[in-house]
Structure 1
Amino acid sequence: MELTAASFLVTLIVLTVLAVLAALLLWNRIPGPGWVRWPARLVMIGLCQLTAICVVATWINDSYGLYSSWDDLLGTGAGQDPGSMTGPPVGRATFTPGGDGTRTTYFRGSHSKLAGQVTVWTPPQYDAPGADRTRFPVLMLLHGYPGTPRTWIDLGKMPGALNDLVDLGAAHPFILVIPEIDPGGVNTDCSNTPDRKVADWLAKDVPDLVARKFRTLPAPGGWGLMGVSTGGFCAAKLPLQYPKAFRAGAALDPDPLTGDPEVLSDPVLREHNSPMWLVEHAKKADVGLFLATSAQDKDSPPRQLAEFARAAAGSGVSVKTLVRPAGGHNFQTWSGMYPDALGWLSSRLTPPTQGRTANR
């Protein structure tokens, strides 16, 4: 039974109820002397507590997308050689419709040779009468770590939050693409390492797949990213590394923009994959970045946004920052940033356009 399956949570709830009922019914019916009865009662109390803790832990995991599978939880999938991973052959992708209007595939990229989940949602305008020749901008949503693409839907309230802004005229209708940022369960801060080409997975493989399967505008003008936490770090760095793939990135409460030594231990690799180093060495790239945080977020302090903006001065990279007065490191805060972030992205990316515009 899958760790994140609803049936698993229901089973745990049923077991908890049965454990409590068994304790109530058997408490005074255990035969034998006291030295037998009391240990048995302690076992019953322990079972009640254990099953209740499992219910709460599973609910928290489902709510925050901490672990996506048993392998992820136990660490048995981490560190696997991408060349030996089981899964689909390179390039093959079959999208399966979901009940929420999304389509999901498990796909192995030709550039990175990594395999991971990719979820795609098309706006209502995509299938509107007469829209068969209209191409749409693409917004890739990057989740945090640990997390899964589903986090954006269950906690981030996407695509409903985007639809509301489109209806108000405050944002473009985007094709939303939600890929795994850590295929195989290994976090590299969306970087290419000697063992895992995660940056190529996100900037080459996933865009190639989506451009092949959907009516997208060409890169880079029609492609952007929005990420939270670790995904925010990635949304800030990938347009700087791949300006021919992405025109803009919105980073909501990004991880430290100088990189995390616990993720990339090699100091040179870490530095050269950090947004701070990249923006200082940008070569007049036509790229825009939106960085947002709250004054209360210790994981993403406002001072790093100011330091980044100063580093970007003279680079040609356009930087806009937003600091909200209150909020934690969570989707309640991030969803409050959507109007500013999605409005800014809509000003930077090409709107839906009719015609036979060539793709990537």
Structure 2
Amino acid sequence: MGLTSNKVLALAVLLAVALFIATIWLWPRLAGRNARSVLGRVGLLLATQLMLFASVGLAANKSFLFYGSWADLFGQETEMGVVVDHSAGAKHLKVVETLGVDVPGGHKPAVGGQIQKVVIAGEKSKIEGPAYVYLPPEYFQPRYARRNFPASVVLTGYPGTAENLLKGLRYPATAYIQAAAGNMQPMILVMMRPTVAPPRDTECVDVPGGPQTETFFAKDLPQAISESYRVGTKPRNWGFMGNSTGGYCALKIAMHHPGNFGAGAGMSAYYKAAEDATTGDLFHGNRNEANRADLLWSLDHLKPSKSFFLVTSSREGEGNLQGTRLFIEKVKPPARVSSITLDSGGHNFGTWRREIAPALEWISGRLRAN
């Protein structure tokens, strides 16, 4: 049973209730002062409290998906060791599994679309990273057989898992619903975590002598996807979006690579690369690269492009409100910026679920299939 399954949560709750009842029932029998009675009372109290905390923790994790699996909880990397086929026709991308979409008829690709678990091999960066590719139902329908589709990269925060984008934030299901309602065009989503060199947080920069993460996301990823799926190679064909660290990466890549991406959406993004114990030394003393990783500095000093940006925050609960307002002020034509500002909302899945549907609609409206 998976960490986020209803069965695990229900079992934990039942055990907590059973232990509570057992404590009430057995307490009179353990009322003595001998060692056996004392140890019995202590054991029942500890066991009951442990299961209570486990139930609360499992419920919180199911809602916010801090951890997507037991392996993720215990720090085990289950994505390693996948053989990548570099033969002709599959040079930079290997499909390792296909999944249905959590929508009516989602087990049929032409009805609900399909999610493909893939491994992307970066030609320039030499990075191999797992991803989930959502293909809308139109991709499999005969009348769209010769049509290209716009695509958007979608990143989680750090140290999230790509599964969070499927289960907790429900990007594929939301994209399906929005397209079915006519609010957005059918669009391919490439869903990943920003950590392509785990456990290090590389902040989507090319680290001197280290992981070339910016090159992977800005160049290798769109190349691999365009080679493998019906996606164009022009900026108007590609968007980039994400939350938290993923939001920072989305804005950064769209800003610094306007020749590859036409739009970037950062939900609860920050605007300067973090530098802490999880990142290590990202710039090795190179002040130019450190400045470039500061998006507010970049808006002041770099030539503006024809990019579209979307930023989000809330008046109460988010720490990026001031930075978001500065970002909006500093965007200069021909670039354009839009925003979502909630009255209240913290840095969590609940907030992002309220922003994903309008963000998908926004980015879809700024991309083209051909």
Name the TM-score, length of structure 2 as normaliser.
Answer: 0.79
Task: Return closer, same or farther for 1:127/1:292 CA change in 2, 3 Å cut-off.
Answer: same
Counterpart secondary structure, 2:166 = helix
Residue type at the aligned position of 1:204: K
- 2:122/2:221 contact within 8 Å kept: no
Residue type at the aligned position of 1:252: M
Counterparts of residues 79-90 of structure 1 (less than 5 Å): 86-89=81-84
Counterparts of residues 1-360 of structure 1 (less than 5 Å): 3-4=3-4, 9=9, 12-13=12-13, 15-16=15-16, 19-20=19-20, 23=23, 26-27=26-27, 34-69=34-69, 72-75=72-75, 86-89=81-84, 91=92, 93-100=94-101, 101=106, 102-111=114-123, 112-183=125-196, 184-193=198-207, 194-255=209-270, 257-262=271-276, 264=279, 266=281, 268=287, 269-301=289-321, 303-313=322-332, 316-338=334-356, 340-350=358-368, 352-353=369-370
Q: CA deviation at 1:33?
A: 6.0
- Residues 191-234 of structure 1: per-residue CA shift (max 9 Å, x gap): 22243233233233432332233211223220101212221111
- Measure, in 2, the Cα distance between the counterparts of 1:129 and 1:288: 32
2:89 corresponding residue in structure 1: none
Residue type at the aligned position of 2:143: G
Task: Return closer, same or farther for 1:96/1:31 CA change in 2, 3 Å cut-off.
Answer: same
Task: Return closer, same or farther for 1:10/1:117 CA change in 2, 3 Å cut-off.
Answer: farther
- Measure, in 2, the Cα distance between the counterparts of 1:291 and 1:339: 14
- Residues 1-33 of structure 1: per-residue CA shift (max 9 Å, x gap): 765566654654565455446545654556986
Task: Return closer, same or farther for 1:61/1:172 CA change in 2, 3 Å cut-off.
Answer: same
- Measure, in 2, the Cα distance between the counterparts of 1:37 and 1:291: 60
Counterpart secondary structure, 1:148 = coil
Task: Return closer, same or farther for 1:13/1:207 CA change in 2, 3 Å cut-off.
Answer: farther
Task: Return closer, same or farther for 1:58/1:218 CA change in 2, 3 Å cut-off.
Answer: same
Gaps of 5+ in 1: 354-360
- Measure, in 1, the Cα distance between the counterparts of 2:122 and 2:180: 38
Gaps of 5+ in 2: 86-91, 107-113
Sequence identity, in percent? 27
- Measure, in 2, the Cα distance between the counterparts of 1:162 and 1:17: 39
Residue type at the aligned position of 2:186: P
2:111 corresponding residue in structure 1: none
Please give the root-mean-square deviation of Cα atoms over the aligned residues, in Å: 3.2
Count of equivalent residues: 344
Residue type at the aligned position of 1:50: L
- 1:166/1:172 contact within 8 Å kept: yes
1:357 corresponding residue in structure 2: none
- 1:106/1:115 contact within 8 Å kept: no
- Measure, in 1, the Cα distance between the counterparts of 2:62 and 2:365: 35
Counterpart secondary structure, 2:171 = coil
- 1:227/1:234 contact within 8 Å kept: yes
- 1:248/1:348 contact within 8 Å kept: yes
Task: Return closer, same or farther for 1:61/1:199 CA change in 2, 3 Å cut-off.
Answer: farther
- Measure, in 2, the Cα distance between the counterparts of 1:12 and 1:196: 41
- 1:179/1:202 contact within 8 Å kept: no
Task: Return closer, same or farther for 1:104/1:28 CA change in 2, 3 Å cut-off.
Answer: farther
- Measure, in 1, the Cα distance between the counterparts of 2:162 and 2:27: 46
Q: CA deviation at 1:343?
A: 3.6
Residue type at the aligned position of 2:194: I
Task: Return closer, same or farther for 1:182/1:300 CA change in 2, 3 Å cut-off.
Answer: same
After TM superposition, the structure 1 stretch with the greater mean CA deviation from structure 2, 64-73 or 121-130, is: 64-73
